[in-house]
Amino acid sequence: MPSWSDFEPFIVSGLALGGVYALSGVGLVVLYRATGVLYLAFGAVGAMGALTAWSLGQAGAPGWLTWLVCIAVAAAITLAYGVLFGPALAKRDPLVKAVATIGLTLILYGLMDLLWTTSGGEARSLTLPSDNGGFSVGQIQVNWTQVIALGAGVVLTVGTGLFLRFTKLGTAMRAMANDREITATLGVPVRRVEAAAWLGCGVLAGIAGLLLADLVALDATTLTFLVISSLAAVLIARLRSITITFVAAIVIGLLHDLLTPITSLTNYRDMTPFVLAAAALLVMPRSQVMAQSREEA
């Protein structure tokens, strides 16, 4: 059994990984609360933005411009999807809406591999200026990008919680996610609120995409399907509480990395998100996990 000092660096890296999961996970829950859609294309959209930013950077554009373009691309795709498919699917089961975003994911995934082909020896990477600074914790260095990611997760958790609860727009979004018909009859400009929700989603996905491309890898496959691991945190919070999503993501990241030095378990550590999610869901009392059934949709 490894000693405490063996575990120590993994606590730091685990928190960083937790920050990565939190960024996607909180983004997903926020989107779900605001639009009623589990936006599984979150990773793909962010990856598309990041790859566009990379291309622009290769062509010589200044860093800040590439980041803006990344966010703009993600926002544009998300807004287009929301405006085109949101109303058509609004009355459907959340499951149907989520599966529809899988359609978007596949389209983007295929597009990304066509536009940014895999070339045998080439490896793309995105670096942010915040990579260069940092501070030491024990024997390892923490760079500012990791801090920003974690911080962004916290800000997102607190900020959107407040936004959804206390602002007029946020309340309208929550109402719409709950029942679009009734909200419309109450005089809320449904289309505009919806567009605002999707736009916000897209911006979030873009920012997350940029950070994740730096922290994880600038690779379409990795970034697109990272969302599967982040779903674990989302599931533990049962798609409701943003705070629980954040905490769950941190716990998953910590546990994943803390398993690394344990030789017998290290090869299985990638299972951590899945096992935790399955366990959390299956030990919950039945009444707490019933999703909307079809006839209510």
Near other proteins in 215-244, by CB under 8 A: 216-217, 219-222, 224-226, 228-229, 231-232, 235, 238-239
What residues between 124 and 163 interact with other proteins by CB under 8 A? 124-125, 131, 134, 136, 139-141, 143
Instruction: Give CA–CA dist 26/55, Å, rounded.
Output: 28
102 near 81, Cβ under 8 Å? no
Spatial neighbors of 60 by CB under 8 A, at least 6 apart, are: none
Instruction: Give CA–CA dist 12/235, Å, rounded.
Output: 24
The verdict on 59 binding other proteins (CB under 8 A) reads no
Select the residue interacting with other proteins from 59, 64, 114, 187 (CB under 8 A). Answer: 114
Spatial neighbors of 68 by CB under 8 A, at least 6 apart, are: none
Angstrom CA distances, 133 to 48, 53, 70, stand at 27, 22, 23
The verdict on 86 binding other proteins (CB under 8 A) reads no
Please report how close the Cβ of residue 178 comes to other proteins at its closest, in angstroms: 15
Instruction: Give CA–CA dist 102/119, Å, rounded.
Output: 26
Residues in binding contact with other proteins, number by CB under 8 A: 90
The verdict on 26 binding other proteins (CB under 8 A) reads no
**């010589």: which residue's tokens?**
60
Stretch touching other proteins by CB under 8 A, among 53-61, 168-176, 182-190, 284-292: 284-292
Closest CA to 208 of 59, 34, 28: 28
20 near 253, Cβ under 8 Å? yes
The verdict on 45 binding other proteins (CB under 8 A) reads no
**Which of residues 204 and 280 has its CB atom nearest to other proteins in the complex?**
280
The verdict on 292 binding other proteins (CB under 8 A) reads yes
Please report how close the Cβ of residue 2 comes to other proteins at its closest, in angstroms: 9
Select the residue interacting with other proteins from 59, 120, 168, 264 (CB under 8 A). Answer: 120
Stretch touching other proteins by CB under 8 A, among 62-70, 121-129, 152-160, 195-203: 121-129
